[in-house]
C-alpha cells in the first residue's frame, strides 16, 4: 500500500544522514509538490520519476572523518539539482571547486543576494537565513557564480559563496538551510526550485488522499479484520478513524497498552475519545504499568532505559497480538513517513529514536501481507490535515507531541556524577558573569545534538537577581560557544541564589513517576489556563534527582519550546504570572528542591532531556 498516487510531479530528496531531509520533503509537499526521500546508494535509474533532486546532508560527516560517498552519477543526473549545506559543498567539489574546514558557523545570518537568479525570484535583496555548518565552499568551480553571500548576525563574519549557481547545468547550492522556519523565505526558495526551475505542477493535496486510501484499505484488507494499537496520539487516532470509515467498527479491534509512563489521566482520556468516535466498544485496555516498572528497575543509562521500554513494549505487544490475531487478522499501524525512513532506510543517520513499528516480528508480518499502514506516506502536518478532513476535534489535532517512551525519558536517573563533571567548564563562571549571571554545572548529563549527532553533555544552571530574558538567552548562546562539555542551560526560577546543586542518586520508581505526573499536570493546566497550548509547541516537564542548596531531592525543569516540526526549537518564554503560579504549586510538592526553566535552543540541546 505504499505507492503514492501516480500522476503527480515529484522531487527526490537525497538523504545523506542529516536530520533535515524530512523537513525539506515536508516543505516541498506543502508547496503542493510530492517530495520523496531517496538514499545516496540508489542507482541513477531510481531517479527516473523525478523532475528535480535536492541533496541534503550532515555537516557531521566531514568533521567525523567519514567519507560521504556521493555517487558522481547522482550529481550528473539530467535534471536540476539543489544542494543544501553538505549538498552545496558536494556540488562545488564535484565541479572542481574547493571546500575547506572554516570552523563552526551557527545561527541567524543575513543573505545578500548578489545576482539575479530564478532560485531567489521574488525575494528581497537581503534575506534572513539560518546557518549550521563547519565546512564551507572556499573557491568556485568553473561555470558557477556566486548568487549570494551571508553575514552572520552574531559576530558580523562574512561568508562568501554561501549561495552559488550554474544556470546552464541547472545546479544550485546554498550553505544555509531554507527548510527551517528560521530562514524567513525558505519556502519561497524551495518553491522557486521545485516549481520554477524544475517545472513541477503543484498538485499534491491531502484531501484527495483520504478517498484514495479508503478504497485501498478495503482492497487490501478484503474480508479480514484489523487490530490496531492506539496510544491516544494523533497518528493512531487518525488511523483508527480512517480504518473505521473504510471497514466499519465491527471489523476493528483497538488495543491500548498503558505502560505506566503516561500523563495523569491519559488512559481515561483515550477511552473517552474513542467513545466519541463510536469506537469505544472496540477498545481493549492492557494495564502493563508494573511490567514496565520491573523492566526499568535499577537502570540509569538513558539508552538502556529506552531499550528496556521498547523491548517490554514489544514483548507485551507480541503476547497480545497472538491473543487477538488468531484467524485471519491484519495488523494496522499508525506509522508515518519519517518512521519508515529513519529506521530502515537511512544507513548513516544517527539513531534519533527507536521505532516499534519496524521490529523483526512486524517485518515478518509485513512480508506475509498482514500489515496495513494507511498513513505511511504522510508527514505529521499532513496527518493533522487528514484528521481535519475526517472531522476530528481541533483539540486532539493540536495536542502536543508526546514521546513513545513517555515520562520514561523525562525522569532522569543517575547513581553518580558523570566523569567529566569534576574540573569541567573552568571558564563557565567568567562567561556567565559577563551577562550579570551566576552559573553552576549540574552533576548529570542530558542529550543534545552536535552537528546532527546525539551527544550526552552537562547542563548549566543559571541564576541572577535580574535575569532578563534576552540577556539570559545571550548568556546561554555564549556558554554553548565558549564552554566545553555543555549543551544545555536552565534558568533557576526558585528564587534566591544557587550556592550548590548535588546529585541525589535515584532510579526510576513509581513514587518519582507519580511526582513527575503531578508536576506535569500542573504545568499543562497552567498552560491551558493562560491560553498557551497553541503558542507553546511542546512543554516537557523533567524531574532531575538534584538537591538545591542542600535541600530537597527532585529538581523540576520546564521545557517549553516554540518549534514547527521538532527539528529545531527555541525556548518559549512563560508569562511572569504563570511562572509565579507554577513556582508556588510545584515547590509545594513533596521532595521538590527547586524549579528551573530550560532556555536552550535546539541545537545544541534536544527538546527532550534523554
Distance CA 48, CA 252 (A): 39
Taking the complex as a whole, the smallest distance from the CB of residue 358 to ligand XMP amounts, in Å, to 13
Which of residues 236 and 300 has its CB atom nearest to ligand XMP in the complex? 236
Active site residue 177: yes
Which of residues 117 and 568 has its CB atom nearest to ligand XMP in the complex? 568
Which residue in the set 89, 538, 541, 600 belongs to the binding site for ligand XMP (CB under 6 A)? 538
What residues between 542 and 581 interact with ligand XMP by CB under 6 A? 566
Which of residues 342 and 385 has its CB atom nearest to ligand XMP in the complex? 342
Which residue in the set 52, 59, 404, 526 belongs to the binding site for ligand XMP (CB under 6 A)? 404
Taking the complex as a whole, the smallest distance from the CB of residue 77 to ligand XMP amounts, in Å, to 32
Active site residue 85: yes
Decide if residue 606 touches ligand XMP (CB under 6 A).
yes
Give Cα 165 to chain centroid, integer Å: 31
Which of residues 173 and 338 has its CB atom nearest to ligand XMP in the complex? 338
Give Cα 211 to chain centroid, integer Å: 29
Asked if 534 contacts 398 with a C-beta cutoff of 8 angstroms, the reply is: yes
Decide if residue 403 touches ligand XMP (CB under 6 A).
yes
Give the total of residues touching ligand XMP (CB under 6 A).
13
Cell triple for 443: 552533576
What residues between 406 and 445 interact with ligand XMP by CB under 6 A? 409
Distance CA 246, CA 214 (A): 5
* Residues found in the chain: 610
The kind and range of the H/E element at 597 are strand 592-598
Asked if 467 contacts 409 with a C-beta cutoff of 8 angstroms, the reply is: no
Residue 109 neighbours by CB under 8 Å, 6+ apart = 128, 129, 130, 131, 150, 151, 152, 153, 159, 162, 176
Which residue in the set 352, 440, 476, 508 belongs to the binding site for ligand XMP (CB under 6 A)? 352
Which of residues 267 and 357 has its CB atom nearest to ligand XMP in the complex? 357
Asked if 533 contacts 398 with a C-beta cutoff of 8 angstroms, the reply is: yes
Residue 572 burial class via C-beta count within 10 angstroms: exposed 0-12, middle 13-18, buried 19 and up: buried
Peptide bond into 604 cis (omega under 30): yes
Radius of gyration, alpha carbons of the chain: 25
Q: Which residue stretch of 142-150, 327-335, 512-520, 599-607 sits at the interface with ligand XMP (rule: CB under 6 A)? A: 599-607
Q: Which residue stretch of 125-133, 153-161, 289-297, 600-608 sits at the interface with ligand XMP (rule: CB under 6 A)? A: 600-608
Decide if residue 353 touches ligand XMP (CB under 6 A).
yes
Strand bridging mode 546-548 / 561-563:
unpaired
Active-site choice (90, 179, 457, 518) = 179
| Residue 37, beta-bridge partner list | 13
Q: Which residue stretch of 30-38, 196-204, 504-512, 602-610 sits at the interface with ligand XMP (rule: CB under 6 A)? A: 602-610
The footprint of ligand XMP (CB under 6 A) covers 352-353, 401, 403-405, 409, 538, 566, 602, 606-608
Residues labelled catalytic: 85, 177, 179
Amino acid at each position: 500500500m505504499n505507492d503514492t498516487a501516480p500522476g503527480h510531479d515529484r522531487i527526490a530528496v537525497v538523504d545523506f544522514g542529516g536530520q533535515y531531509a524530512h523537513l525539506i520533503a515536508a516543505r516541498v509537499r506543502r508547496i503542493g509538490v510530492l517530495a520523496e526521500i531517496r538514499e545516496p546508494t540508489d542507482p541513477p535509474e531510481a531517479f527516473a520519476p523525478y523532475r528535480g533532486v535536492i541533496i541534503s546532508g550532515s555537516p557531521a560527516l566531514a568533521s567525523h572523518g567519514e567519507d560521504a560517498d556521493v555517487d558522481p552519477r547522482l550529481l550528473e543526473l539530467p535534471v536540476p539539482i539543489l544542494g543544501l549545506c553538505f549538498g552545496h559543498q558536494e556540488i562545488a567539489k564535484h565541479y572542481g571547486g574547493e571546500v575547506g574546514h572554516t570552523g563552526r558557523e551557527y545561527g541567524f545570518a543575513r543573505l545578500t543576494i548578489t545576482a539575479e537568479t530564478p532560485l531567489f525570484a521574488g525575494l528581497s535583496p537581503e534575506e534572513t537565513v539560518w546557518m549550521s555548518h563547519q565546512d564551507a565552499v572556499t573557491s568556485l568551480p568553473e561555470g558557477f557564480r556566486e548568487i549570494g553571500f551571508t553575514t552572520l548576525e552574531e559576530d558580523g563574519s562574512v561568508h562568501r559563496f554561501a549561495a552559488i549557481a550554474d544556470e546552464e547545468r541547472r545546479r544550485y547550492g546554498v550553505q544555509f538551510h531554507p527548510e527551517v522556519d528560521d530562514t524567513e523565505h525558505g519556502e519561497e526558495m524551495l518553491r522557486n526550485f521545485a516549481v520554477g526551475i524544475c517545472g513541477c505542477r503543484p498538485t499534491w493535496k491531502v484531501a484527495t488522499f483520504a478517498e484514495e486510501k479508503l478504497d485501498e484499505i478495503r482492497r487490501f484488507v478484503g474480508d479480514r479484520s484489523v487490530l490496531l494499537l492506539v496510544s491516544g496520539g494523533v497518528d493512531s487516532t487518525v488511523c483508527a478513524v480512517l480504518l473505521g470509515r473504510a471497514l466499519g467498527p465491527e471489523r476493528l479491534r483497538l488495543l491500548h497498552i498503558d505502560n505506566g509512563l503516561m500523563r495523569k489521566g491519559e488512559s481515561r482520556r483515550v477511552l473517552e475519545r474513542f467513545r466519541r468516535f463510536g469506537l469505544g466498544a472496540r477498545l481493549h485496555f492492557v494495564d502493563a504499568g508494573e511490567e514496565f516498572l520491573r523492566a526499568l528497575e535499577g537502570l540509569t543509562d538513558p539508552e538502556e532505559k529506552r531499550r528496556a521500554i521498547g523491548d517490554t513494549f514489544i514483548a507485551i505487544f507480541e503476547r497480545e497480538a497472538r491473543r487477538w490475531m488468531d484467524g485471519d487478522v491484519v495488523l494496522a499501524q499508525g506509522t508515518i513517513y519519517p518512521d519508515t525512513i529513519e529506521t530502515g532506510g537511512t544507513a548513516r543517520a544517527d539513531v534519533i529514536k527507536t521505532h516499534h513499528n519496524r521490529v523483526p516480528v512486524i517485518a515478518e508480518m509485513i512480508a506475509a501481507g498482514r500489515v496495513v499502514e494507511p498513513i505511511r506516506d504522510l508527514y505529521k502536518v499532513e496527518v493533522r490535515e487528514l484528521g481535519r478532513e475526517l472531522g476530528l476535534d481541533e483539540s486532539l489535532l493540536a495536542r502536543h507531541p508526546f514521546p513513545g517512551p513517555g515520562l520514561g525519558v523525562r525522569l532522569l536517573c543517575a547513581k553518580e556524577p558523570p566523569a567529566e563533571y569534576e574540573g569541567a567548564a573552568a571558564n563557565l563562571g567568567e562567561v556567565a558573569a559577563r551577562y550579570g549571571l551566576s552559573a553552576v554545572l549540574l552533576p548529570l548529563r542530558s542529550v543534545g545534538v552536535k552537528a546532527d549527532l546525539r551527544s550526552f553533555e552537562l547542563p548549566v544552571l543559571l541564576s541572577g537577581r535580574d535575569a532578563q530574558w534576552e540577556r539570559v538567552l545571550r548568556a546561554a548562546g555564549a556558554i554553548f560557544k565558549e564552554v566545553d562539555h555543555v549543551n544545555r542551560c536552565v534558568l533557576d526560577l526558585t528564587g534566591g541564589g544557587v550556592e550548590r546543586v548535588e546529585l541525589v542518586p535515584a532510579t526510576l520508581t513509581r513514587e518519582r513517576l507519580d511526582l513527575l505526573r503531578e508536576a506535569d499536570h500542573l504545568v499543562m493546566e497552567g498552560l491551558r489556563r493562560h491560553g498557551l497550548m497553541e503558542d507553546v509547541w511542546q512543554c516537557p516537564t523533567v524531574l532531575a534527582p538534584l538537591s538545591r542548596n542542600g535541600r530537597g531531592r527532585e529538581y523540576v525543569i520546564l521545557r517549553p519550546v516554540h518549534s514547527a516540526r521538532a527539528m529545531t526549537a527555541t525556548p518559549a518564554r512563560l508569562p511572569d504570572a504563570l511562572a509565579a503560579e507554577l513556582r508556588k504549586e510545584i515547590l509545594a510538592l513533596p521532595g521538590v528542591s527547586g524549579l528551573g526553566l530550560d532556555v536552550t535552543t535546539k541545537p545544541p540541546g534536544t527538546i527532550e532531556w534523554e
